[in-house]
């Protein structure tokens, strides 16, 4: 296969913990042709969507150790048509550059894009979770989103809970996630001013969520592939921090999904597949869905270490199967059209 990773700069990778590196490495050692690029390197040439790519140079043998592979990898640069790839993995860090999706629109019917262009449009921020149509709050906590400070203050005052979670709509990696308390409304008022007021007079959306019991003990990151959980880990906040994200200082522990967590995965999985969100990370607390991470979800390395597995193998296995089925379907359609044309 020909595989392209649209991602963050290669030199910014932390090889000991990077999930994308594991997927690239697995693809290369299987003999697939692998290219990496970034959203800024997409371009149009003769009305074709192209990319300035770095192709991993082929060798007789690559190191079986991802960190060593990273140090030794050599590239050659070339402008290549995106339609020439079998798979494109979107692994850029949030926030999503919607112009990149406009480029990908031109090849979405020809290439398997993980995740789907329209799915990324719908789910690239936290509104996707808030709009799960879970009126009974069986798998999502009550969620409120607005730019209206007076409304958000009213939500906090009328909440039955003493605590709530506040976060910016477009934050990632745990940035801006805080616990607020009704007993400190003066602070809440000031925080809303800070969160809502943007640069140049712009205003930002703020999310308020019910505080889920057990949140202080951390959350569970679940890796989902084609609507099914393939691995999980518990993330425990650093002392004095409400955030469980590893980048924010959280620690990881081995975790077996509970009945409630498996139920949430089963309920969410079909919607993810329907929306073309094939490879995502779910964040769960107490069996409740807190976030769906669709851009460059991480956790592969830690889950691998905790469970002595290699999730990247399952991911590339799945991509190979998907490309094979698409190729077979295309060949079948061609044969049937030929039958009609020759009749």
Q: Residue 37 belongs to a domain with what CATH number?
A: 3.40.50.20
Q: Is 271 a catalytic residue?
A: no
Query: DSSP string covering 207-260, please?
Result: EEEEPPTTGGG-EEEEEEETTEEEEEEEEEPPTT-S---GGGT-EEEE----HH
Does 203 share its domain with 241? Answer: no
- Annotated active-site residue in 116, 243, 275, 302: 243
Q: What is the pLDDT of residue 318?
A: 98
Looking at the structure, tell me whether residues 17 and 84 fall in a common domain.
Answer: yes
Return the pLDDT at 274: 95
The one catalytic residue in 125, 234, 291, 302 is 291
The pLDDT value recorded for residue 136 is 56
Q: Is 221 annotated in the active site?
A: yes
Residue 342 has what DSSP assignment? T
pLDDT of 60 reads 79
Q: What is the pLDDT of residue 8?
A: 96
Which pLDDT score is estimated for 244? 52
Q: Let me know if 67 is a catalytic residue.
A: no
The answer to whether position 136 is within a domain reads: no
| 249-to-193, 271, 305 alpha-carbon distances in Å | 27, 32, 18
User: Same domain for 189 and 258?
Assistant: no
- Based on the fold, state whether residues 179 and 251 are members of the same structural domain: no
* Residue 225 belongs to some domain of the structure: yes
Q: Is there a single domain that holds both residue 65 and residue 153?
A: no
Q: What pLDDT does 173 receive?
A: 64
Residue 14 lies in a domain: yes
For the question of residue 30 being annotated catalytic, the response is no
Domain extent, residue 200, equals: 142-210
The CB-side HSE value for 143 (13 A sphere, CA atoms) comes to: 26
Decide if 329 is inside a domain.
no
Q: Global pTM?
A: 0.88
Per-residue model confidence as pLDDT tens for the chain (343 residues): 999 999 999 999 999 999 999 999 999 999 999 999 999 999 999 999 999 999 999 987 899 999 999 999 999 999 999 999 999 999 998 888 889 999 999 999 999 999 999 999 989 877 788 767 665 567 888 889 999 999 999 999 999 888 999 988 877 666 788 999 888 888 898 999 999 987 777 899 999 999 998 888 899 999 999 999 999 999 998 765 554 555 556 799 999 999 999 999 999 999 999 999 999 999 999 999 988 999 999 999 999 999 999 999 999 999 999 999 999 998 898 899 999 989 8
343 found inside a domain: no
**Cα dihedral sign, 228-224-278-126:** positive
Q: How many distinct structural domains can be found in the chain?
A: 3
What CATH number has the domain bearing residue 183? 3.30.1490.20
Q: Is 126 a catalytic residue?
A: yes
Q: Tell me whether residue 304 is one of the annotated catalytic residues.
A: no
How far is Cα 213 from Cα 210, in angstroms, rounded to an integer? 9
Tell whether 206 and 223 lie within a shared domain.
Answer: no
Does 236 lie in the same domain as 195? no
Among the listed residues 54, 91, 167, 288, the single catalytic one is 167
Q: Which residues of 305-317 are buried (b: 16+ CB within 10 A; e: fewer)?
A: ebeeeebbebbbe
Shared domain for 20 and 69, answered yes or no, is yes
235 labelled catalytic: yes
Same domain assignment for residues 46 and 66: yes
Residue 164 shares a structural domain with residue 220: no
From the candidates 86, 283, 288, 302, give the one annotated as an active-site residue: 283
Q: Is residue 78 part of a domain?
A: yes
Give a yes or no: residue 120 inside a domain: no
User: 231: domain CATH number?
Assistant: 3.30.470.20
Residue 132 lies in a domain: no
Question: Is residue 240 located within the same domain as residue 257?
Answer: yes
Helix (H) or strand (E) holding 293: strand 288-293
Q: Could you confirm whether 167 is annotated as catalytic?
A: yes
Specify the pLDDT at position 239: 67
- Residues 154 and 177 both lie in one domain: yes
């Amino acid at each position: 296969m020909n595989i392209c990773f649209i991602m963050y700069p290669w030199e910014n990778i932390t090889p000991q913990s990077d999930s994308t590196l594991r997927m690239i490495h697995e693809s290369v050692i299987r003999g697939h042709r692998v290219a990496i690029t970034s959203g800024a390197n997409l371009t149009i040439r003769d009305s074709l969507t192209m990319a300035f790519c770095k192709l991993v140079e082929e060798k007789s043998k690559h190191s079986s150790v991802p960190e060593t592979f990273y140090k030794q990898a050599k590239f050659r640069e070339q402008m290549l048509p995106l339609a020439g790839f079998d798979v494109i993995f979107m692994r850029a860090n949030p926030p999503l550059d919607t112009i990149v999706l406009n480029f990908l629109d031109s090849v979405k019917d020809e290439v398997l894009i993980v995740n789907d262009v329209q799915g990324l449009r719908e789910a690239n921020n936290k509104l996707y979770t808030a709009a799960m149509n879970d009126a009974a709050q069986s798998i999502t906590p009550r969620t409120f989103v607005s730019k209206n400070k007076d409304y958000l203050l009213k939500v906090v005052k009328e909440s039955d809970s003493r605590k709530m979670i506040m976060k910016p709509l477009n934050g990632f990696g745990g940035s801006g996630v805080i616990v607020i308390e009704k007993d400190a409304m003066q602070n809440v008022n000031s925080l809303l001013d800070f969160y809502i007021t943007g640069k140049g007079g712009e205003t930002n959306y703020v999310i308020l969520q019910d505080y889920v019991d057990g949140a202080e003990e951390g959350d569970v990151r679940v890796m989902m592939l084609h609507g099914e959980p393939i691995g999980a880990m518990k993330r425990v906040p650093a002392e004095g921090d409400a955030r469980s994200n590893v980048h924010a200082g959280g620690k990881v522990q081995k975790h077996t999904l509970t009945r409630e967590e498996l139920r949430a995965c089963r309920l969410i999985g079909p919607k993810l597949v329907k929306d073309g969100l094939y490879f995502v990370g779910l964040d769960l607390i107490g069996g409740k869905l807190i976030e769906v991470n669709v851009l460059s979800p991480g956790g592969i390395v830690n889950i691998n270490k905790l469970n002595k597995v290699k999730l990247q193998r399952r991911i590339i296995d799945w991509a190979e199967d998907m490309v094979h089925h698409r190729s077979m379907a295309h060949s079948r359609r061609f044969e049937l059209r030929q039958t009609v044309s020759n009749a």
